[in-house]
Amino acid sequence: MENIVFVELLRRGYNVRVGCYRDSEVDFLAMRYDRVEYIQVCQTLMSDDTMEREIRPLMRPKDNYPKTVLTLDRFGLGDKNRILIRNILDWLMDE
């Protein structure tokens, strides 16, 4: 899934990097023009442990850039602590 997201971000014109912040890692830091987005990719967020592991790195940067978790889940989508949780298939169909 990460490879699909990486290729799609490139197709959409983003410069893509892996985001590291101290001891945690954000899957992708996507930059285009003056826009920056943080993106995490995971199969499911249904367990509390996975939710914590995927959300924690996105909460560390204290900027106001968009932060998104892409998942195959169809439940539990929406906004959690200013982090958007989206279905990856819906995201792929957006642009």
58-89: pLDDT as tens digits: 988 888 899 999 999 999 899 988 999 999 99
The confidence score (pLDDT) of residue 22 equals 66
Distance CA(94)–CA(90), nearest Å, equals: 6
Domain ranges of the chain: 2-94
The confidence score (pLDDT) of residue 16 equals 96
Q: Do residues 85 and 69 lie in contact, with contact meaning Cβ atoms separated by under 8 Å?
A: yes
The confidence score (pLDDT) of residue 27 equals 93
3-state secondary structure of 72: coil
- Fold of domain 2-94: Trna Endonuclease; Chain: A, domain 1 (3.40.1350)
Q: Is 57 left (phi over 0), alpha (psi -120 to 50) or beta?
A: alpha
Helix (H) or strand (E) holding 2: helix 2-11
Task: State the distance between the two ends of the chain, measured CA to CA, in whole angstroms.
Answer: 18
Provide the whole-model pTM. Answer: 0.91
5-64: pLDDT as tens digits: 999 999 999 999 987 766 778 999 999 998 899 999 999 999 989 888 899 989 888 888
